[in-house]
Amino acid sequence: MSEKAVLVVLVCILAVLVSVLVGAGAGYLSRRSGATYPAAALQAGAAFAATLGVVAAVTAALTAVAVLLH
């Protein structure tokens, strides 16, 4: 496996890990504020999806910039 492929895999793992942590935090805070378990789970899922989308967009933008500068 090349170094570039390993880097791509590690970045993907990091993106998913950050999204999971944000989702868990959002679910916890939602539940602490008095939301029901289903509502907190929906909040956590929405935060996970939004964070994963933002991280993917930022990663794509940084990759494009890196390719242009190389």
pLDDT tens digits, 22-45:
999 999 999 999 999 999 999 999
Q: What percent of the chain has pLDDT over 70?
A: 100
Residue 35, φ and ψ in degrees, nearest 5: -75, 155
Based on its alpha-carbon atoms, the radius of gyration of the chain, rounded to whole angstroms, reads: 16
Q: Quote the Cα angle for 69-62-50, to 5°.
A: 170
Q: Give the total number of structural domains in the chain.
A: 1
Q: Which residues contact 30 (CB under 8 A, 6 or more apart)?
A: 39, 40, 43, 44
Which residue range is the domain that position 37 belongs to?
3-69
Mean pLDDT, residues 40-52: 97
The reported pTM is 0.85
Q: Is the pLDDT of residue 4 over 90?
A: no
Sign of CA dihedral 7, 10, 15, 18: negative
